[in-house]
């Protein structure tokens, strides 16, 4: 097994528990290796740091899997890690639908596994974890005995690892259009063609948080995707709900979800550019009791953080202008490069520009099946805020 040594003058990030080791943090090495192989990492003074997989094509040169020198990286290792992750989800009450593996937070970097009742969707986002895909599938079949497994590796980040984008069955073929249950509602999920792995599980706790503010309310949701927040608003007693999204596919699914739950008379959906509509409706003087904003990530690059912050400020300013005095703004950001503090300051700046006073109601992050490790900041990415707009 090849050995790599950290440079002397690097920060304590890796030693404090972060699993990523960048190329610039590595010094000398011993032994040969192939891309994707397991290698050992040592400090500059020769003390053992951990074992992980290496890819010279990636900026993240090594991703650590274990800090235990005696722990073998083999099929049993992946079975054990997945079993431990499943036990944790069961302990905290995520049984039917959950993110079963959340990459670094479950000590399996670059691996994502979502469980949708009896079906599993996986993403292997780095070469080193791709090499163990067979072992991962075997472990899932042994532990969960799912009706089907599908891979959604049609993501550009794989190309940074020198891999192709692919998707398809890792089990016997099955109908990839499924229905899942959440908070007393049912939702169509398109495992094959939906965004990410087909459904956004990370907001399932936050969708419950709107329960009391929606009773008897006229609700507007921008960037509604397949209408999950909109349907929850109707479920919690909204008088009317209007969902907006630029995707015809998403709006069609949202309408099907409304019919599925019997809320087609309350929930209406329109395929429009939400940015343009929020601006024009604000000028027209339209007002809603509750405005909900759940946009996609505005940036995946540090170079564009300022642009992302400008975007969040703009849509929240427009959202506040559409909110009746005493109404509520529900707003979220899934851009992990925008810190919680930066997001809150952005909302505050939007309120000042809108000349509205805001009062915090709820401040949350992603659902607990997406665990956060304090020493791995990128595991906390979702910001969810409810404020009363006065």
Q: What would the pLDDT profile of 274-293 be if each residue is shown by its tens digit?
A: 989 999 999 999 999 999 99
- 97-108 pLDDT, tens digit each: 999 999 999 999
- DSSP 8-state assignment for residue 69: T
Q: Which of 11-15, 103-107, 246-250, 297-301 has the lowest mean pLDDT?
A: 297-301
Q: How confident is the model at residue 336 (pLDDT cuts 50, 70, 90)?
A: confident
Give the end-to-end CA distance of the chain in Å, rounded to a whole number: 63
> What is the rounded average pLDDT of the residues 225-230?
96
pLDDT for the residue numbered 296: 81
- 30-42 pLDDT, tens digit each: 999 999 999 999 9
CATH of domain 178-389: 3.40.50.150
Q: Per-residue pLDDT for 351 more than 90? A: yes
Q: Is the pTM of this model over 0.75?
A: yes
- DSSP 8-state assignment for residue 331: E
In which residue ranges of the chain is CATH 3.30.750.80 found? Answer: 75-174
Name the 3-class secondary structure at 219.
strand
Other C-beta atoms lying within 10 Å of the C-beta of residue 188: 20
The pair of structure tokens assigned to 107 is 């000590």
> What is the rounded average pLDDT of the residues 61-83?
98
> What is the rounded average pLDDT of the residues 167-180?
97
Q: What percent of the chain has pLDDT over 90?
A: 90
pLDDT for the residue numbered 343: 94
> What is the rounded average pLDDT of the residues 130-145?
98
Average pLDDT over all residues of the chain: 95
The secondary structure of 254-268 as a DSSP string is HHHHHHHHT-TTTEE
| Cβ atoms 224, 200 nearer than 8 A | no
Q: Per-residue pLDDT for 188 more than 80? A: yes
In which residue ranges of the chain is CATH 2.30.130.10 found? Answer: 3-66
Q: Which of 9-23, 121-135, 166-180 has the lowest mean pLDDT?
A: 9-23
Give the residue ranges of DSSP H helices in 265-361. 274-284, 305-321, 340-354
Q: Which CATH number fits domain 3-66: 1.10.3720.10, 2.170.150.70, 2.30.130.10, 3.30.1490.20?
A: 2.30.130.10
Closest of 95, 136, 134 to residue 115, by C-alpha: 95
Q: Per-residue pLDDT for 337 more than 90? A: no
Q: Which CATH number fits domain 75-174: 3.30.565.10, 3.40.50.300, 3.30.750.80, 3.20.20.140?
A: 3.30.750.80
116 has which bridge partners?
A: 97, 119
| Cβ atoms 140, 120 nearer than 8 A | yes
pLDDT for the residue numbered 103: 97
Contacts of 47 (CB under 8 A, 6+ apart): none
| Cβ atoms 349, 306 nearer than 8 A | no
Q: Per-residue pLDDT for 354 more than 70? A: yes
Other C-beta atoms lying within 10 Å of the C-beta of residue 300: 12
Q: Which residues of 5-16 are buried (b: 16+ CB within 10 A; e: fewer)?
A: bbeeebeeebee
> What is the rounded average pLDDT of the residues 199-222?
97
Cα torsion 72, 73, 76, 81: sign: positive
Closest of 364, 366, 356 to residue 328, by C-alpha: 356
Give the containing element (helix H, strand E) for 253: helix 248-261
Only one residue has tokens 């975007």, namely 311
CA 25 to chain centre: 28
In which residue ranges of the chain is CATH 3.40.50.150 found? Answer: 178-389
Q: Per-residue pLDDT for 301 more than 70? A: no
Q: How confident is the model at residue 299 (pLDDT cuts 50, 70, 90)?
A: low
The pair of structure tokens assigned to 284 is 């027209």
Name the 3-class secondary structure at 99.
strand
Q: How confident is the model at residue 21 (pLDDT cuts 50, 70, 90)?
A: very high
* 307-314: long-range contacts, CB 8 A cutoff, minimum separation 24: 308/335, 308/337, 308/338, 309/338, 309/342, 309/346, 312/338, 312/343, 312/346, 312/347, 312/350, 313/346, 313/349, 313/350, 313/353, 314/275, 314/350
Closest of 336, 348, 350 to residue 381, by C-alpha: 336
pLDDT for the residue numbered 307: 81
Only one residue has tokens 């590595």, namely 26
The CA-atom distances, in angstroms, between 261 and each of 85, 180, 188 are 32, 12, 11
């Amino acid at each position: 097994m090849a050995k790599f040594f950290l440079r002397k003058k690097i920060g304590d990030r890796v030693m404090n528990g972060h699993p990523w080791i960048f190329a610039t943090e590595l010094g000398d090495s011993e032994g040969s290796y192939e891309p994707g192989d397991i290698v050992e990492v040592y400090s500059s003074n020769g003390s053992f740091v951990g074992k992980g997989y290496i890819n010279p094509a990636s900026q993240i040169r090594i991703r650590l899997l274990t800090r235990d020198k005696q722990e073998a990286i083999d099929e049993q290792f992946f079975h054990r890690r997945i079993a431990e992750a499943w036990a944790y989800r069961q302990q905290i009450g995520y049984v039917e639908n959950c993110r079963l593996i959340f990459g670094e937070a479950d000590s399996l970097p670059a691996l994502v596994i979502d469980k949708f009742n009896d079906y599993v969707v996986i993403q292997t986002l780095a070469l080193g974890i791709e090499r163990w895909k067979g072992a991962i599938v075997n472990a899932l079949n042994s532990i969960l005995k799912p009706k089907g497994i599908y891979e959604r590796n049609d993501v550009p980040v794989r190309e940074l690892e020198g891999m192709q984008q692919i998707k398809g069955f890792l089990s016997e073929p099955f109908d990839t259009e499924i229905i899942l249950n959440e908070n007393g509602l049912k939702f169509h999920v398109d495992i094959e063609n939906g965004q990410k792995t087909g459904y956004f599980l990370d907001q399932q706790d936050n969708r419950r948080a709107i329960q009391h503010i929606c009773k008897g309310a006229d609700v507007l949701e921008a960037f509604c995707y397949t209408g999950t927040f909109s349907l929850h608003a109707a479920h919690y007693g909204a008088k009317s709900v209007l969902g907006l999204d630029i995707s015809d596919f998403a709006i069609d699914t949202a309408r099907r979800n409304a019919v599925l739950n019997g809320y087609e008379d309350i929930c209406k959906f329109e395929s429009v550019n939400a940015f343009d509509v929020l601006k024009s409706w604000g000028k027209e003087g339209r007002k809603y009791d509750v405005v909900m904003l759940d946009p996609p990530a505005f940036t995946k690059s540090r170079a564009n953080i300022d642009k992302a912050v400008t975007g969040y400020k703009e849509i929240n300013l427009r959202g506040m202008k559409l909110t009746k005095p005493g109404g509520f703004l529900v707003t979220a950001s899934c851009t992990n490069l925008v810190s919680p503090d930066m997001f809150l300051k952005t909302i505050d700046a939007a309120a000042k520009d809108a000349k509205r006073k805001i009062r915090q109601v709820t401040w949350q992050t992603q659902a607990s099946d997406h665990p956060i490790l304090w020493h791995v900041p990128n595991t906390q990415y979702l910001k969810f805020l409810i404020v009363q707009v006065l």
